[in-house]
Amino acid sequence: QKEVEQNSGPLSVPEGAIASLNCTYSDRGSQSFFWYRQYSGKSPELIMFIYSNGDKEDGRFTAQLNKASQYVSLLIRDSQPSDSATYLCAVNRGNTGGFKTIFGAGTRLFVKA
Amino acid sequence: DADVTQTPRNRITKTGKRIMLECSQTKGHDRMYWYRQDPGLGLRLIYYSFDVKDINKGEISDGYSVSRQAQAKFSLSLESAIPNQTALYFCATSDNSLNTGELFFGEGSRLTVL
């Protein structure tokens, strides 16, 4: 079992729809959770992080965390073609550094105009 | 200019050759990392360094070595490259004072070993 699992996709949604990206993790000691966006040929960039159970909203993005189920998700509302990218889920045992940051393989999202 | 700069951006080499990938940063972060990215496998940590005197192995350090020449510079070496080291390599930094765990990535170095 991989430590961080994501559906590789591609996930295809029409413009304006809600895109839902899911991630599960195996280490119950994980404390911080991240979503990075990576455009083709580019480097990952952080779009959301979440530490506590529940929802965290930032603009069109909402991160959801359920530690009991070891599940974290990212919702993108009003999806735009510019949201088409690979989304990487990452988990970290601590809330500093990054040396224990484990990445999933990523989910490719395609938003159709 | 990018805050985290990697050189070279692309390199094609032959099996058995020594290769060095360099990373420099202007963010003033103490912590630096080298990751490799392969299709379907995500980003995997090769080495990390919390300061100039601190070097640690990541999950896939075999076949690699690193040097932290200064706070701003962290180099990755492949002493004798092999084809399965063909990958996209990323240098990253983090700021331990921010307490978020966010990683800041360089633009990547694509290495092909023939």
**What is the number of alpha carbons within 13 Å of residue B8 lying toward its C-beta?**
9
DSSP letter for A18, please. P
B91 to chain A: nearest residue by CA? Answer: A43
DSSP state of A31: -
Quick one: B88 exposed, middle or buried, by C-beta within 10 A (0-12, 13-18, 19+)?
Answer: middle
Cis peptide before A10 (omega within 30 of 0): yes
Which whole number is the average pLDDT over B82-91?
96
Q: Evaluate whether A93 touches A3 at the Cβ level (below 8 Å).
A: no
Cα gap B80→B89, rounded to integer Å? 16
Tens digits of residue pLDDT in A75-107: 999 999 999 999 999 998 765 555 678 899 999
Residues 25-44 in A contacting B (C-alpha not used; CB under 8 Å) = 32, 34, 36, 42-44
The answer to whether residue A30 scores a pLDDT higher than 80 is yes
Interface check B50 vs A, CB under 8 A? yes
List pLDDT tens digits, range B21-50. Answer: 999 999 999 999 999 999 888 899 999 998
Q: Which residues of A touch B58 (CB under 8 A)?
A: 99
Per-residue model confidence as pLDDT tens digits over A56-80: 999 999 999 999 999 999 999 999 9
Q: How far is B54 from chain A (nearest CA, A)?
A: 12
B77 beta partners = B20, B65
- Chain A residue numbers with beta carbons less than 8 Å from the beta carbon of B102 are 34, 46, 49, 98
